[in-house]
Structure 1
């Protein structure tokens, strides 16, 4: 199981939100590239980036700090937030991203997900962010009627690389991930599922790994607060 340290970008800074609320942002680093380098030097195998402003704007907003991160580290990096057309997907992959995460368009333009996954094998993931099992879009501001599992199953034959599943009510709250829901999703589809939201301790990682079906976990606030030591976590996951 892969641990993805998270760098959430708001106004050029590395921040963490509480349950997706932009006004509940805590700044952890004014230099996201330095933070990325620190994670890489600690042994991280991947990085997870989110353009928070972009998620609301519907287009990239924090492009400059993302590009500086890509210049600073050599480990693979995935990015979500504001990626809603083929041109943006192509530009980010050309700049060195290893994987783009498509969230809002997975609901609004599923055909774009399929087109992108076919054009860029292994480089397109779907982000499914949910409250009470229903997918939320546009920076979590709009809740839809789509059930997470149903939407995930609709992409079974699309060739996407992974599903990033976030329980919004757990995100940034340091209360542990929604393991039952994440495990159920992972068992419902053949697509690799990455857990996000509330991953805050070695015990959380042990429980996620013990399911045997969850391929990765994203953690942010816990790494910044010191509740989770990155090197210990990486040693645990092997």
Structure 2
């Protein structure tokens, strides 16, 4: 199982939110590239980046720090937030991003996801953010009637590289991930599923891995707070 350290970008800084609330942001580093480099030096194999402002704006806002991270770090990175058209997808991949994450458009324009996955094999992931099983879009501000599992199944034949499943009520709260819901989703589709939201201890990582169906896990606040030692986590997951 791959561990993805998360760098959430707000106003050019690396922050963490609680339950996706932009008014409840904690700044952890005002140099996101330095933060990314410290994760790489601790042994991470991937980086997970989110343009929080972009998710609300509907277009990239934190492009400069993302580009600085891509320049500084030699490991692959995936990015979500404000990526809602082919031109933006192409632009990010041209800049060296390994994978784009499409969230809001997966609900509003599923054909774009299919088109992008076909044009860029292995480089398009779908971000499914859910509150009580229902998908939320536009930076989690808009709740839909779409069920997370139904949305995931609708892309079964699209060729997407991964599904990043976030339980919004667990995100940034350090209360543990929703292992049951994530595993259920992973069993419902053949697309690799990455768990996000609430991953806050080595025990959480081990429990996600031990389901046997979850391909990866994203953690942010726990790495910044020191609740998870990244080097120890990498060693455990490899062992």
Identify whether the pair has TM-score above 0.5, normalized to the shorter chain: yes
Deviation at residue 140 of structure 1 after TM alignment: 0.1
Structure 1, unaligned runs of 5 or more: none
Aligned position for 1:106: 106
Structure 2, unaligned runs of 5 or more: none
Aligned position for 2:176: 176
Task: Establish whether residue 213 from structure 1 lines up as the match of residue 213 from structure 2.
Answer: yes
Aligned position for 1:199: 199
1:142-189 alpha-carbon deviations (Å, 9 max, x no partner):
000000000100000000000000000000000000000000000000
Aligned position for 1:21: 21
* DSSP-derived class of the 2:232 partner: helix
1:116-140 alpha-carbon deviations (Å, 9 max, x no partner):
0000000000000000000000000
Return the alpha-carbon distance in structure 1 between the equivalents of residues 233 and 206 of structure 2.
9
* DSSP-derived class of the 1:231 partner: helix
Aligned position for 1:189: 189
* DSSP-derived class of the 1:129 partner: strand
Q: What does 1:5-20 correspond to in 2, within 5 Å?
A: 5-20=5-20
Return the alpha-carbon distance in structure 2 between the equivalents of residues 237 and 162 of structure 1.
19
Aligned position for 1:96: 96
Aligned position for 1:66: 66
- Normalising by structure 1, we get a TM-score of 1.00
Deviation at residue 68 of structure 1 after TM alignment: 0.2
Aligned position for 1:39: 39
Aligned position for 1:134: 134
What is the root-mean-square deviation in Å for CA atoms of aligned residues?
A: 0.2
Corresponding pairs, count: 238
Q: What does 1:134-173 correspond to in 2, within 5 Å?
A: 134-173=134-173
Deviation at residue 99 of structure 1 after TM alignment: 0.1
1:57-114 alpha-carbon deviations (Å, 9 max, x no partner):
0000000000000000010000000000000000000000000000000000000000
Q: Which runs of structure 1 show a deviation greater than 2 angstroms over 4 or more consecutive aligned residues?
A: none
Return the alpha-carbon distance in structure 1 between the equivalents of residues 164 and 124 of structure 2.
11
Return the alpha-carbon distance in structure 2 between the equivalents of residues 167 and 7 of structure 1.
17
